[in-house]
Structure 1
Amino acid sequence: MSITKLICKATIVLAGILLATPMLHAQRLDQPLFIEPLEFNPDYQFFAPVDLGDFGEKPDHRTGWYAQYHRLHTFINRPASGATGIQGDFTWGNVYDIGFMTETGSGWSVTGTHIGGPNVFSTVIQPRINRINDDDADNVGGDPDDLEPIFPFQDRNDFRTNSRVYFLKDSINVANMTGFEFNKTWRLEPFNNGSVLEPFMGLRYFKLKAFHRRDTYITTDETFVDNPDPNDTDVLENYTSTVGAWENDMVGGQLGLRWVERRGRWTMSSQMRGFGAQNFQAFDSQIDTVQTLYDGVMEGADVVSESYTRTRTGATTSEFVFGYDVRAEAAFELTRDIALSAGVHVSQIVRGIGRSNDVLANDQGFTTAGLLIGLNVNR
């Protein structure tokens, strides 16, 4: 990245902070940076009756410590290299929030997110030249008490199919993401209808890992000629597995706004944030090749020789990423402090992500959208 681009990006971030500062006047100058765990004198009556307000007035907005947990069922778009009729896959994730808000309208919040997928492969079972090793009696119906260990181990029949096969895998959408946020929050004066706005700004770190795999299998004769099936001349098989992995480590800042309105037992809320970050990328690729020579092509053919080769390459680079998060939810209060919530979310990193097996294609997007359901405590 050139010095000019770096200065431009720093200027944009600084300008955004300066523009946002006048909105955040609600913070008192004497407000301490950190709050003691018992600062708010909690009474620990989590199951007290719901506070519905006095004389028809809407209940006050909550202060003190709060916590949230959400379970996500979310859709992840596929990398550009995996274009198919279906443009994404569903997976599961978790979101954890903890923080506090003082009576003067100032607080802090910490958010942790993990999405553990998707893990979508296309798999083909490919029989090997000697489809069954007759000597491996333990796997072909022999006496289970008469174990005959096969050496080397790779000459055994696969325990899942009772034959000698390769599981050829083609990755379609394989990734996972973990992120953390640390935000300073403010609560502005309520509107006439009782709803409030809570602007926030803070730091954000998130890590996105993307994996790529392609397996190939080909048989030839000893002159390396691939003969058409069926044939009885191919005694040499070549299995190649190409595995690539991207690690996208993103560090940056964000600005956001949360809207909240309480209506009886219901709390309606929505939030949106925009972020920008520098993405420090690392790419690693590994190619494993197994070449096996047989003395024939029938079942039980013996292995004459087997060779392994491994080639590894790697690269590092960086990209500037930007994107947004949007969440809307409704929470129903079971008790004074405990509520069940449900909603929807959309998040997108517009560009700057490495996801495919091409080291030059390191500027793809990453989109998630789905449903969430969770539990709130004093939120």
Structure 2
Amino acid sequence: MLSYRKTLWALVIVANLAAASGVQAQYETVFPAANQPFTDVNLENYDFQWFAPPITEQYGQDTIDPNTGIFFEYHRLFMNVSRSDVAPGPYDGDATYGNRIDVGYMTEDNHGWLISGWRLDGPAYNGVNRGDFNSIELDRTWRLPQFHQGFYIEPLMGLRYAQFNDKTSTINFVQNNMLLGQLGGRIFSHRGQWTLEGTVRAFGGQNWIFRGDQDSYSAGVAGGEFSLGAAYHITREISIDVAWETMYIGTGVGRDPFFNNDEDMTMTGVAFGFTLNR
């Protein structure tokens, strides 16, 4: 009986593996690289010419298409971070600096991936508003056909991990660990040597809050991120740009080191940097 059961299970496993292989092969035929998303990054087909003259024609006209291939962005952030509800001047905010890096790719089939991370090193005002913020996200992206007046839309869907450490109190600190799902998109249009663009993300998830060694609990989090900016192309694939960047978390942020409060939080300011091949 034991030998029979072993033989039966072996046949079941082999049959399932064979069926799974057939389904996977069919799935990859319809959606190439669906299970291996980075196999379609073929660098040999991308004609990188970093110092070629900038494109001045409008995207979508005269066979001029938006860039494809790997891209990279760096921005220096100058942000204002809101204070806790229990801090002096709770409706005020305080300035800080940070960095943001975006890297990803867009294929000629109009789909790709985006990894985005940013960090704020402050604010740094003891007893009023002190802390730091980190965020990393992974998004699946698509590029839709051209819209009216040469605009393109790139929807995105992904996951984000964000951490805010409130160190305002000299007695204890509050650490927020947020795991978020998000939806959003990027819209852009090329005019002359300028690219006008905007991005929007809406996110929600769970926040695990640790108040030093005193207490820990969790809360729901919801909010969004918005930016609007312009890029000037120095060459075909190198541009400098500036944008207004805002992130708002509407609920679920722990800041007061003594009470289990759920606060909102706003970070807004200017991002200035450069972009390669986007």
Counterparts of 1:358 and 1:85, CA distance in 2: 17
Letter in 1 for 2:189: E
Q: Deviations over 1:22-45 (max 9, x none)?
A: xxxxxx712451146643533442
Contact 2:143–2:153 at 8 Å: present in 1 too?
A: yes
1:262 aligns with 2:190: yes
Alignment partner of 2:109 out of 97, 101, 104: 104
Q: Which residue of 2 aligns with 1:5?
A: none
Counterparts of 1:278 and 1:58, CA distance in 2: 46
Structure 1 residue 51, shift from structure 2 partner: 2.2
Contact 1:269–1:328 at 8 Å: present in 2 too?
A: yes
Secondary structure of 2:112's partner? strand
Q: State the TM-score, normalizing by the size of structure 2.
A: 0.83
Q: 1:93 to 1:252 in 2, by over 3 A?
A: same
Secondary structure of 1:244's partner? coil
Contact 2:83–2:90 at 8 Å: present in 1 too?
A: no
Counterparts of 1:251 and 1:376, CA distance in 2: 28
Q: 1:257 to 1:281 in 2, by over 3 A?
A: same
1:274 aligns with 2:202: yes
Structure 1 residue 76, shift from structure 2 partner: 0.6
1:118-197 counterparts in 2 under 5 A?
118-121=123-126, 171-197=127-153
Q: Which residue of 1 aligns with 2:7?
A: none
Q: Deviations over 1:279-309 (max 9, x none)?
A: 011111xxxxxxxxxxxxxxxxxxxxxxxxx
Q: Which residue of 1 aligns with 2:158?
A: 202
Q: State the TM-score, normalizing by the size of structure 1.
A: 0.62
Counterparts of 2:260 and 2:267, CA distance in 1: 24
Secondary structure of 1:359's partner? coil
Counterparts of 1:359 and 1:68, CA distance in 2: 40
Where in structure 1 are there 5+ consecutive unaligned residues?
1-27, 122-170, 214-241, 285-312
Q: Which residue of 2 aligns with 1:364?
A: 263
Q: Which residue of 2 aligns with 1:42?
A: 46
Contact 1:75–1:91 at 8 Å: present in 2 too?
A: yes
Counterparts of 1:343 and 1:30, CA distance in 2: 35
Percentage identity across paired residues of the two chains: 33
Q: Which residue of 1 aligns with 2:3?
A: none
Where in structure 2 are there 5+ consecutive unaligned residues?
1-29
Secondary structure of 2:150's partner? coil
Q: Which residue of 1 aligns with 2:65?
A: 60
Contact 1:73–1:371 at 8 Å: present in 2 too?
A: yes
Alignment partner of 2:254 out of 344, 354, 366: 354
Counterparts of 1:58 and 1:211, CA distance in 2: 54
Structure 1 residue 83, shift from structure 2 partner: 3.1
Measured on the aligned residues, the alpha-carbon RMSD in Å equals 1.9
1:12-23 counterparts in 2 under 5 A?
none
Structure 1 residue 93, shift from structure 2 partner: 1.1
1:80 aligns with 2:85: yes
Alignment partner of 1:246 out of 161, 170, 174: 174
Counterparts of 1:178 and 1:36, CA distance in 2: 30
Alignment partner of 1:51 out of 52, 55, 74: 55
Structure 1 residue 84, shift from structure 2 partner: 1.8
1:220-235 counterparts in 2 under 5 A?
none
Q: Deviations over 1:336-359 (max 9, x none)?
A: 110000010111011111112223
Q: Which residue of 2 aligns with 1:316?
A: 216
Counterparts of 2:108 and 2:94, CA distance in 1: 43
Letter in 1 for 2:32: D
Letter in 2 for 1:69: Y
